[in-house]
Chains A and B, each alone.
Chain A
Amino acid sequence: MASIEVRKETCVGCGECVPACPFGAITMDDSLAVISDECTLCGACESSCSYGAIIIRTGETVETGIDQYSGILVLAEQRDGTIDHSTLELLGEARRLAEADDSSVSVVLLTEEAGDWPAELISYGADTVYLAEDAQLKHFRTEPFSKITEKLINEKKPAVVLAAATTTGRDLMPRIAKNLNTGLTADCTELSIDPESGGLLQTRPAFGGNILATIVCSDTRPQMATVRPRVMKAMDRDENRDGVIEKIELSSNDLVSRTEVLEFNSLDEGSVDITEAEVIVSGGRGMKSPENFALLQELANLLDGTIGASRAAIDAGWVSYPHQVGQTGKTVQPKIYIACGISGAVQHRVGMQSADIILAVNKDETAPIFEFCDVGFVGDLFEIIPLVIKEIKKRRK
């Protein structure tokens, strides 16, 4: 059974480990760290102790031929025959990771009819495209998609498997990981290769975005992760890249499913998808009323952009939910993000921090948003924004 221990001889009582524990399980008792029953064996304190005084022991682990695994496999996501942008982002990230040990990047595409997409996936970074086409693969269904992918993984033995942290990826990946008896890290925002072990370091927000946890999967393969959309960057399309397309042979058993999709109803027809916008003008509680959002709308129109909002503005009913940016809303990656009357809470920040440029208008110079924006303007938005609109119109003339 796994256990945790503080080595009395080694512990110098520096107290560094106390704040490292997200569960508040460590206290100092007479210059010795003491671990209470609150401990969940999460492992966070082990590396926080510079003296190596904290030791977590696990039972025997058998590394079962992990050396046979190499390369990165990306699971492509498509709807109605179009590849989701997140797939291209994953390919870009996979290419970057593959550079570390010069390994290969492959992608698996399950669809009704692939059209030109396999070549396109190669242009965006894949060396090999594994392709299965069948009318029954038109809609995502958990069982056929997981069975086919599990078989492919068992045969090709990739060291890393990545999928987008969309509703599809988050449905499919846990099922595959459980069946393959390997680990899965959820909703990663950062991936890198540990230069020492060659393993994948997977970093993700948890505790409502309050902390970032780095997770490894050292003894089993593949190392699986879902990756938050709009965080990684796709590479530039390169038509001259070489790659191969390999067909997957399907058996009728692969397509058996105990679920069926009866209908698909699209929501918010005609409403904007803020994740596609290049410019987002976003408002928060500081906007004070729904009418004032017309001001932001006017600015957004001038910039061919769209409206975003903090949860405070959504909860107040000033703007509808599809516009919410943040942990419980959308993650966006526009070229320009203008935050007006938004304080910059961590749950908001996780949704917009990868914008190319963040501009912030806030009358409180101590607002957290000024700690991570690119250009900040301390002042009253009701004075500044109308002047901005006037100024743009003037310069455009």
Chain B
Amino acid sequence: MRIVVAVKQVPDTAEVRIDEERGTLVREGVPSILNPFDEYALEEAMRWRDELGGTVTVMTMGPPQAEAVLREAVSMGADEAILLSDRAFAGADTWATSHTLAKAVEKMGDIDIVMTGKQAIDGDTAQTGPSIAASLDWPQITFVGFVRELNQESIVAERYVEGGCEVIRASLPVVITVLKDANTPRLPSLRGKMKSRKIEIPVWGREYLALPEHEVGLDGSPTRVVKITTPEIISNGEIHHGEPEKLAALLVDSLLGTEVH
């Protein structure tokens, strides 16, 4: 079984704060981390590798420093790592990101499964996984909470949707996107840490992947961010202070005033 896990380096958005006065995002001192969802995808991949044999390859598309998340994944038990890095890849939306990642999967050859996290905590789109499947023309199972069965021909996975859980069978090769809390990701092992320090990580660029300029990065991206703002806070509410009795009476006034009853 050859499994590829796509991982992304992201700013820890839980640490991002708003500068109240200027209404802007403060990123100073915010650490870059492995996208939390991707840990679960990686664990799901390694769990099945441990059972069936084979390899888990992690790949990321990003700037040279994104290599750090690949080393982290190797310390947790990934076998191989590939960095897709090229100035030309910058500014990619999910079309161009998935296009590049899919080309890398084709280049690796004979891959049975591509696993991604459900979403990245910065871009938050959850679009990369299904778009990779489209690029490769493979079937997809999104929002997977658990892989029940896996063999050389097919996979059975639980897909969590509004109000329930679908159990889906797909033929291989396949792309799956994995939810948070799908499993308990293992911690880096001592052996893994040693390996992560030594491992040679090949860097693949645009030319190596034989991708034309207009299919990568900003040039290859149909969408474009034109504005970023912090959510505006409109305060037109009335605020009441005083004795609890008075406040309770006012609260009931506003409740009954809205005429649900």
Contacts and interface: CB of A to CB of B under 8 A. Distances in A.
A371 B233 contact: yes
A146 B169 CA distance: 18
Contact of A212 (B94, B140, B170, B229): B229
A383 B249 CA distance: 12
Interface string B203-239: 0000000000110011101111111111101111111
A361 B251 contact: yes
By DSSP majority rule, is chain B's interface helix, strand, loop, or mixed? Answer: mixed
Interface stretch (A242-250, A312-320, A374-382): A374-382
B160 to A, nearest CB: 7
B252 A388 contact: yes
Interface stretch (B42-50, B106-114, B122-130, B193-201): B122-130
Interface string A354-377: 001111010001001011111111
A359 B250 CA distance: 11
Interface of B: 11, 13-14, 16, 18-19, 22, 24-25, 27-28, 63, 87-88, 90-91, 93-95, 98-99, 121-131, 133-135, 138-143, 156, 159-171, 174, 213-214, 217-219, 221-231, 233-242, 244-245, 247-252, 254-256, 258, 260-261
B230 A260 contact: no
Given A211-B25, A335-B260, A170 B223 contact: no
Interface residues of A, number: 115
Contacts of B131: 174-175, 177-178
Interface of A: 1-2, 19-20, 22-24, 37-44, 46-47, 56, 58-61, 79, 139, 142-143, 146, 166-168, 170-179, 181-187, 201, 204-220, 257-268, 273, 278-279, 303-304, 335-336, 338, 346, 349-350, 356-359, 361, 365, 368, 370-380, 383-385, 387-388, 390-392, 395
A370 to B, nearest CB: 6
A41 B140 contact: no
Nearest to B180: A328
A118 to B, nearest CB: 23
A58 B224 CA distance: 11
22 contacts: A19-B22, A37-B63, A41-B217, A42-B228, A171-B143, A174-B134, A178-B98, A184-B223, A187-B124, A207-B13, A207-B124, A210-B16, A210-B230, A215-B224, A215-B226, A257-B139, A278-B260, A359-B254, A372-B235, A377-B250, A387-B245, A391-B248
